[in-house]
Amino acid sequence: MQAAVETGVDIPGQISLIGFDDVSFASLPKIQLTTISQPKEEICEVAVQTLEELIAADGPAGYLRTFKGQSTLVILKYVVL
């Protein structure tokens, strides 16, 4: 975003930007970056559960886990849909 501004690229006129992980600074008045919000608490819960299972199983041999959380598009500014 900074590089675009420094080189005179119009946001969102010439380029649309979308952030990821809904970082806290994305909603600051000067930034207003549209972002994709991830279910961080749910991801952490699954990560801890997975670690506990791996420890109990004495290692990752043949271990596979799939996580399908619900992401949310948080539309603020600087994106043309």
User: DSSP of the chain, one letter per residue?
Assistant: -HHHHHTT--TTTT----EES--GGGGSTTT-B-EEE--HHHHHHHHHHHHHHHHHTTS-TT---------EEE--BS---
pLDDT, position 58? 77
Which of 5-9, 17-21, 35-39 shows the lowest mean pLDDT across its residues? 17-21
Summarised one tens digit per residue, pLDDT across range 31-77 is 677 888 888 899 999 999 988 888 888 777 777 788 888 888 887 76
Does the reported pTM lie above 0.85? no
At 31 the pLDDT is: 65
Among residues 1, 76, 2, which one has the least CA distance to residue 37?
Answer: 76
Residues in CB range of 81: below 8 A, 6 or more apart: 75
pLDDT(20) > 70: yes
**pLDDT tier for residue 10 given thresholds of 50, 70 and 90:** confident
Report yes or no: 11 and 4 within 8 Å, Cβ to Cβ.
Answer: yes
